[in-house]
Structure 1
Amino acid sequence: MGSTSAENAENNGSESVGRRSLMKRSAALGLVSVPAMSFLSACASGGGGEDSGEDTKGETSKDNPFGVKKGSKLDVVIFKGGYGDDYAKAWEADFQKKRGVTSTHTGTQEITGKLQPRFNAGNPPDIVDNSGAQKIKIDVLYKNGQLLDLAEVLDAPSVDDPSKKVRDTVIPGTLDPGLQEGKVVALNYIYTVWGLWYSGKLFQDKGWEVPQTWEDFLAICKDAKSEGIGGLAHQGKYPYYINVAIMDLIAKKGGLDAMKAIDNLDPKAFVGSDAALAAVEAVYEVVEKGYLMPGTNGLTHTESQTRWNQSKAVFITSGSWLENEQLKQTPEDFDMKFMPMPLLADSAMPFEAIRAGSGEPFIIPSKAKNLPGAKEFMRLMLSREWSTLFAKEANSLTILQDGVDPSVQLRPGTQSTVEASKAAGDNTFRFLYTEWYSEMDTAIQNASNELMAQRIQPKEWLKRAQAAVDKAAKDPAAKNNRRE
């Protein structure tokens, strides 16, 4: 966060690494089934390709399909957010050991600020974890010809099983968020679930049951308010998070057709959609009844999440990076838990349905100086060894099937996401408009910010969201992005 990354997440630093116990991947991935700031005004740049990296081209071989040159250098930029960047440092150390390539490492939350001048000057890094609140807009980069088509990496032999292509070793559907006009130009590396989070200890202390309906959810919020506890916290300065609730409710109420209508820029995606109306009215009811945690509209994600860790609110919306991001702030007995979004009346999908898929997009700029090194680095990311290295440092799943050593153990929040994924089965969904239409996404987030502050009503939110859809639909490139 993205996405999401973790989208809109701040750095939790490396101090928490020693506190992480890790997951049993064999259990996790055997359970999961997945269906499917204005940026650059610089001139569009074409392929870039090997010509921009002639000093980095070595001999190709079975074990070195891209011809990585020993002694070359790799420029790596990592979003230092909810997952930190220690995992990338571990990768880089191993890359030097295996391929003889040294790395220049930059860990930052200011992705756009640091990289916009470099892209504009035609001097981008070799590989970038493009995430967080200041991530570069993928669709803008793509339209400017500044992203490498990752087909060559995905069609290369897998490190673990050379008889398979890399693309055949990832969880089905996880490459989709990186698509632009049918080409995979971003590798969303981390397997993420989105929904509501709560404290198992607080629930046990209060005698609450996990609410499966919105009515039951509101009842807990009401009970909490009577005891001076907020019902719902959200990361007010980043309305991306409250859209997790709104969009999940739309998908679960209206089914996959309601989700696809938004991604496909339907003229009735919002205005004229019963599911969208019901969803936004449901979230607004939380505001009207005073169930929001006081002050949450003005807080950053980490500020809201920390107050939630202090049991000043019962629920919070987030993706599965939350546990790792909050390790230092979470009490030992908090017992962090994930749950699917509760159901509105007459919902098309079951309670167990969850938004799930891949996040944390990695990109290779088309004008990278060391393209062979960047491609091989990404290929190694999708090896079991590097997937396990990521798990050890970031306490989370990757998109690689059976991608983490089975000896690792799960923290409670991550364990609950595995259980939720098992319960969901094929009932998973994932919006793609956030990657395809960044301007539309921003407009909807802005409308949600106004909604949560009671400056607009649900019907006005729908009008603004539909206006964003209609504007996106006028882009000629939109016809090339379609979900069937």
Structure 2
Amino acid sequence: MSFTPEHPAALDRRTVLRRAAAVGVLATPAIGLLGACATSGSDGDNEQVAGGTKSEKNPLGVKEDAAIEVVIFNGGYGEKYATDVHEPLYKKAFPKAEVKHQATQAVSTVLQPRFASGNPPEFVNNSGEKLMDFGALVADGQLQDLTELWDAPSVDDPTKKVRDTVVPGTIEAGSFNGKPFVLYYVSTVFGIWYSGKLFKDNGWAPAKNWDEFIALLTKIKAKGITPYGYAGANAAYYQWNVILTHAAKIGGTDVLKNIDNLEDGAWQQDAVKQAATAWAEVGAKFSDKSFEGLKHTDVQLRQNQYKVALYPSGDWLEGEQKKDTPAGFDYQLMPVPSMSASDKLPATALRATAGEGYFVSAKSKNPKGGLEYMRQMLSTAGAKGFTEVVKAPTVVTAGSEGFAFPPGVASSQAALKAAGQDVFNLYFDGWYKELDTEARTATNELMFGRINADAFVERIQKRADAIKKDSSVTKFKR
């Protein structure tokens, strides 16, 4: 994907979405993964409530005493932003309405049966390892079209539409076949994280190229610290993200575009092989094989204990580890190092996007209430409250003005600015859950020494080819 260059000094999170967003184009009709079971339940128990009277304060026509149910993924951002900020905002606007709240770390496990029986909650934060398949939900007509929300007056200024209060690219990032179905709410930057204190105390500097990186890992290992690690049990995608980010730097952003579009041989491109080969060496020489059985919080805790030096993640990491991070730890982000001077992208290039998906259930009892809940999220109070609780910026343009971010997020925002126009994203994991699962499994096989780079790319390519040939799978392109 190409982007219009802008002066690096002017770059911030408001431009990254315009650069990184892509519209998912529905290529072929398909039976979604929810399948026939999605219509097998009785709709009698879930008759939708009648709408309310539209007014300046209620532009969507929400029934003022109708309950809504909110389901939040209790992961890196926790649930307090919902219970302490967004839900109270909804209650303030509609004091007669009951707001039911549920938090879970297994969204699909909890909600799949409810969607299948025709009784979904109004509002869902669909995230985490066990998220529901967005593509299947769209294909099955389970997601509410958000056009009415985006065209509604904003909470703060009735003369301004909600769509005009968010950074460019936000709506497109959650669109399928030209229609918006998902709100990606959080501005997210990915990279490799380290303790500024640990590096300062040892005289280490973040690496910009591969030779520097291997030299750094060698120095760290000599200190008796595990140089690099990720959690194989539930966060292998943190590592395939690093491998593919590296591949994009080596071969350019078309490497990722080809993968997203299921192009023939996309996973076997030379840039992907080079990156996989390099990171397999890191896994063999500079990591700990026991990490394959650990969850992300286990490895993250070890980093907070100065037992692991470098850890791949998005910039939600700092907030997720807030309770376990020692004073002075000083989270810092290092972009994935370049391979060589012949790379297509510079060392400062990185992956960034709008992350953390939210949707309104079209077949819930009160979808208008779900849309209004989202409108409250997108208010200045909703966005600022979120940022204050989780210390992460949202896509609302006025949402973090004047906010002093903690060291980690401040460093990720600085890295984003330094990247200039060299910001990119990828989408296959959200479009094809089966391919994401295969990539996770193959990544563990590679990093923990059971297969080489050739077998790694061959394995994932085989699964990508099968998905491409399967007419029952909805296809997306960018």
Q: What TM-score results when the alignment is normalised by the length of structure 1?
A: 0.88
Paired position in structure 1 for 2:27: none
Quickly say closer, same or farther: Cα 1:418–1:257, change in 2 above 3 A. same
Tell me the SS of whatever aligns to 1:171. Answer: coil
Distance in 2 (CA, whole Å) between partners of 1:391 and 1:286 is 35
**Once the two structures are superposed, what CA deviation does each residue of 1:121-171 show, in whole Å capped at 9, x if it has no partner?**
100000000111111111122222211122221222222333433223222
Partner of 2:352: 356
Give the equivalent residue in structure 2 for 1:247.
244
Task: Return the match for 1:70 from 56, 64, 70.
Answer: 64
Tell me if 1:411 matches 2:395: no
Q: What residue in structure 2 maps to residue 456 of structure 1?
A: 451
How has the CA–CA distance of structure 1 residues 83 and 471 changed in structure 2, closer, same or farther, with 3 Å as cutoff?
same
Cα distance change on mapping 1:414 and 1:426 into 2, 3 Å: same
Q: Report Cα offsets for 1:438-466 as digits up to 9, x if no partner.
A: 11111111111111121111100010121
CA contact (8 A) 1:45 1:144 kept: no
Do the aligned partners of 2:135 and 2:474 also contact (CA within 8 Å) in 1?
Answer: no
Alignment of 1:441-452 (within 5 A): 441-452=436-447
Q: Partner of 2:339 in structure 1? A: 344
Could you tell me whether the CA contact under 8 Å between 2:255 and 2:266 is conserved in 1?
Answer: yes
1:276–1:172 Cα change, 3 Å: same
- Counterpart of 1:136 in structure 2 is 132
CA distance in 2, matches of 1:72, 1:31: 38
Q: Residue 13 of structure 1 aligns with which residue?
A: none
> 2:218 aligns to what?
222
Query: 1:215-294 alignment to 2 at 5 Å?
Result: 215-237=211-233, 238-271=235-268, 273-288=269-284, 290-293=285-288
Alignment of 1:293-304 (within 5 A): 293=288, 295-304=290-299
Alpha carbons of 1:39 and 1:110: their partners in 2 closer, same or farther (altered >3 Å)?
Answer: farther
Helix, strand or coil at the partner of 2:49: helix
> How many residues are aligned here?
452
Aligned to 1:323: 318
Once the two structures are TM-superposed, the CA of residue 246 in structure 1 deviates from its matched residue by: 0.6
- Partner AA of 2:119 in structure 1: N
* 2:6 aligned residue: none
Q: C-alpha deviations, 1:177-219, integer Å up to 9, x for none? A: 4233333221111111111000101111111111000221111
Query: Could you tell me the percent identity over the aligned residues?
Result: 40
Q: CA deviation at 1:426?
A: 2.0
Structure 1 residue aligned with 2:73? 79
CA deviation vs aligned residue, 1:385-419 (integer Å, no higher than 9, x gap): 1001111211111111232242x321110111111
**Mapped contact 2:48–2:364 kept (Cα < 8 A):** no
Q: Deviations over 1:313-345 (max 9, x none)?
A: 211000111001001111111111012111011
Comparing 178-187 with 90-99, which one deviates more in the overlay? 178-187
Of 418, 422, 447, the match for 2:417: 422
Distance 1:30 1:477 in 2: 37
Cross-structure match for 1:179: 175
The partner residue of 1:381 within 369, 372, 377 is 377
Give per-residue Cα distances to partners, 1:94-138, cap 9 Å, x unaligned: 211122222001111121121111111100000000111111111
- Does the Cα contact within 8 Å between 2:72 and 2:125 map onto a contact in 1? yes
Contact 1:112–1:134 at 8 Å: present in 2 too? yes
Give the direction of change, closer, same or farther, for the CA distance of 1:365–1:201 in structure 2 (3 Å limit): same
Contact 1:58 1:68 in 2 (8 A): yes
| Bigger mean CA deviation after superposition, 275-284 or 105-114 | 105-114
Structure 1 letter corresponding to 2:202: K
Contact 2:89 2:376 in 1 (8 A): no
Quick one: which amino acid aligns to residue 469 of structure 2?
A: K
Question: Aligned partners of 2:371 and 2:18: how far apart in 1?
Answer: 26
Distance change (3 Å), C-alpha of 1:166 and 1:275:
same
Letter in 2 for 1:99: F
Q: Which residue of 2 aligns with 1:201?
A: 197
Give the superposition deviation at 1:29. 4.4
Select between 173-182 and 187-196 the one with higher mean Cα deviation.
Answer: 173-182
The 8 Å contact of residues 234 and 317 in structure 1, kept in 2 or not, is answered as: yes
Residue among 366, 369, 394 paired with 1:398: 394
Question: Does the 8 A contact of 2:107 with 2:132 survive in 1?
Answer: yes
Which deviates further from its counterpart, 166-175 or 215-224? Answer: 166-175
Alignment gaps of 5+ in structure 1: 1-25
The answer as to whether partners of 2:38 and 2:118 remain within 8 angstroms in 1 is no
| Consecutive aligned runs of 4 or more in structure 1 exceeding 6 Å deviation | none
Tell me if 1:468 matches 2:463: yes
**Alignment-mate amino acid for residue 440 of structure 1:** L
Call closer, same or farther: CA 1:389–1:27 in 2, change over 3 Å: farther
Query: Relative to structure 1, is the Cα distance of residues 481 and 293 closer, same or farther in structure 2, using a 3 angstrom cutoff?
Result: same
Per-residue CA distance 1:36-63 (angstroms, 9 max, x = gap): 3x963444559x99x9665341001233
Of 430, 433, 438, the match for 2:433:
438
Letter in 2 for 1:430: N
- 8 Å CA contact 2:15–2:168 kept in 1: the answer is no
Quick check: 1:78–1:106 contact (8 Å CA) kept in 2?
yes
Residues in 2 aligned to 1:294 and 1:480: alpha-carbon distance in whole angstroms: 36
CA 1:220–1:315: 2 relative to 1, 3 Å: same
Q: How does 1:27-38 map to 2 (within 5 A)?
A: 29=13, 34-36=18-20
- Does the Cα contact within 8 Å between 2:39 and 2:116 map onto a contact in 1? no
RMSD: 2.4
330, 355, 362: which is aligned to 1:366?
A: 362
Please tell me whether the aligned partners of residues 229 and 293 of structure 1 are also in contact (alpha carbons under 8 angstroms): no
Q: Structure 1 residues 168 and 477 mapped into 2: Cα distance closer, same or farther (>3 Å)?
A: farther
Instruction: Look up the equivalent residue of 1:434 and give its one-letter code.
Output: D
Per the alignment, in what secondary structure is the counterpart of residue 87 of structure 1? helix
Task: Provide the C-alpha distance between the structure 2 equivalents of 1:219 and 1:478, rounded to a whole number of angstroms.
Answer: 45
